Amino acid sequence: MKHRSTAMTVIVFSVLVLVTSSTRAVAAQIGPSQFEDPLVFDFSELDGGTHLGSGYANPYANAGVEFTGYIADYDYEDISGRHLASGFANSPAEPYVVRLRLLDDFAAKVGAYVWAGGSGDTWITAYDQDGLVIDTLAVDGYTCSFVGFESTVGRPISVVEWRGPTSSSFTTFPRVDNVMMEYVPEPATLSLLALGGLGALTRRRRG
């Protein structure tokens, strides 16, 4: 009897480990059309040369996020007007990196247009609430591409970094614009969605 329950425990535990590890391995790459109602940051309201990051005033505190980078002004494909550049960001300065950090809540989806400016591949990395890497994607150095992440349930996004090669002399790249972000839905919102679904089901049954 005791042996059987131990075996059952082992089986249940193994299944749990399998489910957990398969969940951990996957973070979907998504395009701009896969955002439903995102917050969009186009940086158009900021002055060129504004520095963002720790040590500087945060114009996006009300949105619950902080960017690291500085505001440049240029048009290139989907990089339009004011956008985030690397190079002189943060205090002390952090070259080669642009960063989005969530201050209080976590994101289910984050994406942005990124332009590496020929400085080499840009690596875009999403981190979870424990600071562990969820996924890393590379963008070719000579294109302007949209790269987005959709996190898995239980591993929401707390930080996204766009990082250029440190060997590059183009320290102001990568450039990032039109950042899209969707928060993880609140449990109350989920309940409402579930209730809405239930309502639809009830209506369908009646009809």
| One of 59, 64, 81, 95 touching Ca ion (CB under 5 A) | 81
Binding window for Ca ion (CB under 5 A); candidates: 57-65, 80-88, 104-112, 164-172: 80-88
163 touching Ca ion, by CB under 5 A: no
What sign does the CA torsion over 52, 58, 63, 64 have?
Answer: positive
Tell me how many residues contact Ca ion (CB under 5 A).
7
| One of 94, 161, 177, 182 touching Ca ion (CB under 5 A) | 177
Give 126 or 179: the residue with its C-beta nearer to Ca ion.
179
Are 102 and 65 in contact by the 8 Å Cβ rule? The answer is yes
Give 71 or 139: the residue with its C-beta nearer to Ca ion.
71
42 touching Ca ion, by CB under 5 A: yes
Alpha helices in the chain (DSSP H): 2-25, 187-206
b/e 71-86 (16+ beta carbons within 10 angstroms → b): bbeeeeebbbebbbbb
| One of 83, 155, 163, 175 touching Ca ion (CB under 5 A) | 83
Distance, CA of 126 to CA of 72 (rounded, Å): 24
Chain positions contacting Ca ion, by CB under 5 A: 42-43, 80-83, 177
